[in-house]
């Protein structure tokens, strides 16, 4: 039966991707060679793994390698590998659609990056379709390791491709690229060799350019540390991380017990997730005796370390382990624990060695450390050493560690205090820090929405409870500062104070849980505190926002209002209640709203403004 071939349309997202690749990425053309070699390398890794776990592999004894051949006269470059190859169905799916989950989003992000800065493209791994950067026609001949007949895939990068039978192939894949007129350089040896040296030195299989091996195949992580130069490490990082710059940190370590591990881990300089390019995929590959078991492994490190790039190799893993069984494999879990602890210890050492350099890391990747605290109890103790916050004692922009806070604590201070606010200025102008400043007790400023969750999850540090300063039951006697006996200040007489408080309770009944005399306000007339010891105002704000997003009712829990009986406003209010109770009620409602705003909580702005005008009118004598 002769096969005249079938024609297939590219998936819509693929068409868009092709359009970007062909029209926008002109300056990044060289990477098509990297992408194709990387696919060959993937296919060879899979082959190496398959041949370990299966019998009857087609072309079993063909050596695992990549061959690149050039034809300067016909202007072609041909890349051949002896990897797993593809069946007809696989050709159709793999080279017609985009494998990425959420491919629509992926293409949109890519288009965005292409507009902003094409040099970011490397991060995306455009994949096979990069071949059309340089090729006007691309031919893929492939035969699967299952031994089924080979096929040929052909396309000019327009809307469609064809597939037909192609007898007589060996196992693996051959990609023939007929180069565009302005891309003939890619059929010249010097050009192709320099690109391989730049991007593909660390491919773990021989790459033969016109028969000559151009890379060194030894795995860098198995070599001894003092033989490896910084440049080699950096090049390796660029290779596995698709990066164009050097890493921020690098950790190369080997251990024998409790498991044999060789690992090289890198922290990048940039956080692409924060730059708006979507969630980063895990960047550490799992090997066993130099055989790739799990690329971009989700299992070898916790999710919150997904920003790391690198390699973990352990001889203790069974070579024939399947990818599916990694997830709940006890050995993998043990590896994960050992490596994570080792890496966190490394970060703690680096923070000590050069704290400013660590702060650069913290500013870029601190969000992942926080994610770790809130999602992974297992490493909480180590993570607690790594978090940094600003405080009333830290310099602006130079956050402090919890350990440093504890070191500075005065005698008798039993708790660590914190308060959330949008900025340092806002916190320092607010009511919550007044007593801390007066007593000279340090207080941490949590300025990111997630921070209160982080400290809440930690619960304590070094045996000291972490306490939010907006708690109703805050007990400043645990702050260690001397009780400044302030009853001498000119405050409202006890019975008048009591009366005012009962009046306020009645008046604000539907808004507050309780009204109490404040023991900690110095200048401000009032503040909101949380009777629920678990929730802080900042946490409540986030949770009600997320309920709102989901279209759920947002019923804020009632707060306590603390009032300062020494404040002139409160004293005058007690008088006003006697003379003009209905106007006093307006003032009370306004004091409550002001306190809510200072707590970062929501009030009804329309009602508030209208009332405010009423009060102002009185103030100007209206
Ligand atoms: P990715 O490598 O990120 O999966 P690509 O676009 O580079 O995406 O490749 C798409 C798919 O095509 C691969 O996942 C693989 O299944 C298949 N493929 C590409 N090149 C080869 C090859 N040389 N040998 C075998 N399969 C290949
Ligand atoms: Mg690829």
**Which residue ranges make up each domain of the chain?**
6-213, 220-359, 390-479, 494-528+557-619
User: Is residue 487 predicted with pLDDT exceeding 60?
Assistant: no
| pLDDT tens profile 212-240 | 999 887 889 989 999 999 999 999 999 88
Whether residue 91 contacts residue 5, with contact meaning beta carbons closer than 8 Å, is answered with no
Q: What is the mean pLDDT of residues 469-493?
A: 78
Residues 6+ apart with CB under 8 A from 93: none
Name the residue among 511, 597, 508, 594 with its Cα closest to residue 558: 511
User: Is residue 197 predicted with pLDDT exceeding 90?
Assistant: no
User: In the predicted model, what is the mean pLDDT of the chain?
Assistant: 91
User: Is residue 488 predicted with pLDDT exceeding 60?
Assistant: no
The protein residue whose alpha carbon is closest to atom 12 in ligand 1 is 94
User: What pLDDT sits at residue 47?
Assistant: 94
User: Is residue 434 predicted with pLDDT exceeding 80?
Assistant: yes
What is the best residue among 10, 42, 100 to mutate for testing ligand 1's pocket, by most ligand atoms within 8 Å of CB? 42
Whether residue 75 contacts residue 184, with contact meaning beta carbons closer than 8 Å, is answered with yes
User: What pLDDT sits at residue 409?
Assistant: 95
Fold of the 6-213 domain: Heat Shock Protein 90 (3.30.565)
Q: By mean pLDDT, which of 6-15, 111-120, 129-138, 177-186 is the weakest?
A: 111-120
Would you state the structure tokens that stand for residue 355, as one six-digit string? 């704290």
| pLDDT tens profile 326-363 | 888 899 999 999 999 999 999 999 999 999 999 999 99
Give the number of other CB atoms < 10 A from CB of residue 395: 9
User: What pLDDT sits at residue 557?
Assistant: 79
Q: Which CATH class is domain 390-479?
A: alpha beta
What sign results for the dihedral spanned by CA atoms 246, 105, 129, 205?
A: positive
Q: What share of the chain has pLDDT > 90, as a percent?
A: 69
**Architecture in CATH for domain 220-359:** 2-Layer Sandwich (3.30)
- Residues touching ligand 1 (Cβ under 6 Å) are 35, 39-40, 42-43, 81, 83-86, 94-95, 99, 125, 127-128, 173
| pLDDT tens profile 63-79 | 999 999 999 999 999 99
Question: For residue 600, is it left (φ>0), alpha (ψ between -120 and 50) or beta?
Answer: left
| pLDDT tens profile 494-549 | 899 999 999 999 999 999 999 999 999 999 999 999 987 677 888 888 887 787 78
Q: What share of the chain has pLDDT > 70, as a percent?
A: 96
Distance CA 321, CA 315 (A): 12
Ligand nearest to the CA of 83: 1
CA distances from 239 to 244, 306, 457 (A): 9, 17, 37
User: Is residue 481 predicted with pLDDT exceeding 70?
Assistant: yes
User: Is residue 486 predicted with pLDDT exceeding 60?
Assistant: no
Strand 309-313 versus strand 283-288 pairing type: parallel
User: What pLDDT sits at residue 37?
Assistant: 94
Q: Which CATH number fits domain 494-528+557-619: 1.20.120.790, 3.20.20.210, 2.70.150.10, 3.40.50.280?
A: 1.20.120.790
User: What pLDDT sits at residue 441?
Assistant: 96
Ligand nearest to the CA of 128: 1
* CA 37 to ligand 2 center in whole angstroms: 8
* CA 142 to ligand 1 center in whole angstroms: 12
Distance CA 508, CA 563 (A): 13
| pLDDT tens profile 2-27 | 677 999 999 998 999 899 888 877 77
């Amino acid at each position: 039966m002769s096969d005249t071939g079938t024609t297939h349309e590219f998936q819509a997202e693929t068409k868009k991707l092709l359009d970007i690749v062909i029209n926008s990425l002109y300056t990044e053309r060289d990477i098509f060679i990297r992408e194709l070699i990387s696919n060959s390398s993937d296919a060879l890794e899979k082959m190496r793994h398959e041949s370990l776990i299966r019998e009857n592999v087609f072309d079993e004894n063909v050596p695992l390698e990549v061959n690149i051949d050039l034809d300067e006269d016909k202007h072609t470059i041909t890349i051949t590998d002896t990897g797993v190859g593809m069946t007809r169905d696989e050709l159709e799916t793999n080279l017609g659609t985009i494998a990425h989950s959420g491919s629509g989003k992926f293409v949109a992000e890519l288009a965005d990056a292409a507009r902003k800065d094409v040099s970011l493209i490397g991060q995306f791994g455009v994949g096979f379709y990069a071949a059309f950067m340089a090729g006007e026609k691309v031919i893929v001949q492939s035969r699967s390791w299952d031994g089924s007949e080979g096929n040929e895939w052909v396309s000019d990068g327009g809307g469609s491709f064809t597939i037909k039978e192609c007898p007589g192939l060996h196992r693996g894949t051959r990609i023939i690229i007929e180069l565009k007129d302005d891309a003939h350089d890619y059929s010249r040896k010097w050009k192709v060799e320099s690109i391989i040296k730049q991007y593909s030195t660390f491919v773990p299989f021989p790459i033969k350019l016109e028969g000559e091996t151009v890379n060194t195949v030894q795995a860098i992580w198995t070599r001894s540390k003092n033989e490896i130069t910084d440049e080699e490490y950096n090049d390796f990082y660029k290779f596995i991380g698709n990066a164009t710059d050097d890493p921020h940190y690098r950790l190369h370590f080997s251990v024998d017990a409790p498991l044999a591990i060789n690992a090289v881990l890198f922290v990048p300089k940039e956080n692409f997730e924060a730059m708006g390019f979507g969630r980063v995929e895990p960047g550490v590959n799992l090997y066993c005796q130099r055989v790739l078991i799990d690329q971009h492994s989700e299992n070898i490190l916790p999710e919150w370390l997904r920003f790391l790039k690198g390699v973990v190799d352990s001889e203790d893993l069974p070579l024939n382990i399947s990818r599916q069984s990694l997830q709940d494999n006890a050995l993998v879990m043990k590896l994960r624990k050992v490596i994570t602890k080792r890496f966190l210890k490394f970060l703690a050492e680096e923070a000590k060695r050069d704290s400013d350099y660590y702060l650069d890391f913290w500013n870029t990747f601190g969000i992942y450390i926080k994610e770790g605290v809130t999602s992974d109890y297992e490493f909480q103790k180590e993570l607690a050493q790594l978090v940094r916050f600003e405080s009333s004692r830290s310099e602006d922009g130079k956050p402090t560690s919890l350990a440093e806070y504890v070191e500075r604590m005065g005698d008798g201070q039993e708790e660590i205090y914190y308060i959330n606010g949008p900025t340092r200025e806002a916190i320092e102008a607010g009511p919550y820090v007044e007593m801390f400043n007066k007593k000279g007790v340090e207080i941490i400023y949590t300025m990111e929405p997630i921070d209160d969750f982080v400290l809440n999850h930690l619960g304590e540090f070094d045996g000291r409870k972490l306490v939010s300063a907006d708690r109703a039951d805050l007990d400043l006697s645990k702050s260690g500062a001397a009780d400044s006996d302030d009853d001498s200040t000119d405050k409202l007489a006890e019975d008048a104070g009591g009366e005012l408080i009962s009046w306020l309770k009645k008046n604000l009944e539907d808004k507050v849980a309780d009204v109490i005399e404040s023991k900690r306000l110095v200048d401000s007339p009032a503040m909101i505190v949380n009777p629920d010891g678990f929730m802080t105002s900042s946490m409540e704000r986030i949770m009600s926002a997320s309920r709102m997003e989901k279209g759920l009712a947002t019923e804020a829990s009632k707060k306590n209002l603390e009032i300062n009986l020494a404040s002139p406003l409160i004293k005058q209010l007690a008088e006003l209640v006697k003379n003009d109770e209905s106007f006093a009620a307006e003032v009370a409602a306004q004091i409550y709203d002001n306190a809510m705003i200072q707590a970062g909580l929501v009030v009804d702005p329309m009602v508030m403004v209208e009332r405010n005008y009423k009060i102002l009118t009185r103030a100007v004598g209206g």
